[in-house]
Chains A and B, each alone.
Chain A
Amino acid sequence: MEEKVFSISEYIAILNTELRKCTAKIIGEVGKVDIYPSGHVYFSLRDEKDQSVINCIIWKSKYELFGIEIKEGIKIIATGRPDIYKQTGRLSFIAETIELAGEGILKKEYEKLKKKLGDEGIFEESKKRAIPAYPQKIGIITSKQGAVLADFLSNIGNYGFKIKMVDSRVEGQSAITDLLSAIKTIKKKDIEVLVIMRGGGSFESLQPFNNELLVREVANFPFPVIAAIGHDKDVSLTALAADRSVSTPSIAVTVLSESWEQAASLLEGYERDIIGSYENVLENADSLINHSVDAIRGIKDIIFNKYKEIETALKISFQTFKNALQNNKSNLKNLWRKSVFGFNSLLSIIKQQLEHSEKIIYLRNPETQLKLGYSISRCDGRLIRSIRDTKIGKDVDIRVVDGAIVSRVKNINKINKKYA
Chain B
Amino acid sequence: MPKEKPDVKNLSDNLKKLSEITEWFEGQEDIDIEEGLKKVKEAVGLIKASKERLKAVENEFEEIKKEVDIEKEEDNEEGKLEEDIPQI
User: Could you tell me which A residues sit within 8 Å of B by CB distance?
Assistant: 311, 314-315, 318, 322, 329, 333, 336, 340, 343, 347, 350-351, 353-354, 356-358, 360-361, 364-367, 376, 383, 399
The DSSP consensus for interface residues of chain B is helix
- Size class of the contact patch on chain B: 20 to 34
Say yes or no: is B8 at the interface (Cβ < 8 Å to chain A).
no
B57 within 8 A of A: yes
Q: Across the interface, name the chain A residue whose C-beta is closest to B85.
A: A318
Given contacts A350-B50, A360-B25, A361-B22, 9 further A-B contacts (CB under 8 A): A329-B75, A354-B15, A354-B47, A357-B21, A357-B47, A360-B22, A361-B39, A365-B40, A366-B33
Determine if A361 and B75 form an interchain contact, defined as CB atoms under 8 angstroms apart: no
- A357 to B50 Cα, complex, angstroms: 11
Q: Could you list which residues of chain B lie within 8 angstroms of chain A, going by C-beta atoms?
A: 11, 15, 18-19, 21-22, 25-26, 28, 30-31, 33, 36-37, 39-40, 43-44, 46-47, 50-51, 54, 57-58, 61, 65, 68, 72, 75, 79, 82, 87-88
With most chain A CB atoms within 10 A of its CB, the pick from B28, B33, B47, B87 is B33
Q: How far is the CA of A361 from the CA of B11 in the complex (A)?
A: 18
B72's nearest neighbour on chain A, judged by CB, is: A333
- CB nearest neighbor in B for A346: B57
- Residues on A with C-beta less than 8 A from B11 are 350
Cα distance A356–B25 in the bound complex, in angstroms: 12
Q: How far is the CA of A383 from the CA of B37 in the complex (A)?
A: 16
Give 9 pairs: A residue, B residue, CB < 8 Å, sorted on A.
Answer: A311-B88, A350-B50, A350-B54, A357-B19, A357-B46, A361-B21, A361-B22, A365-B40, A366-B31
Supposing A343-B61, A361-B43 touch, asked if A353 and B15 sit within 8 A by C-beta, the answer is yes
- C-alpha gap A357/B25 in the complex (Å): 10
B5 to chain A, nearest CB (A): 18
Whether B40 and A367, one on each chain, are in contact in the complex, defined by CB atoms closer than 8 angstroms, is: yes
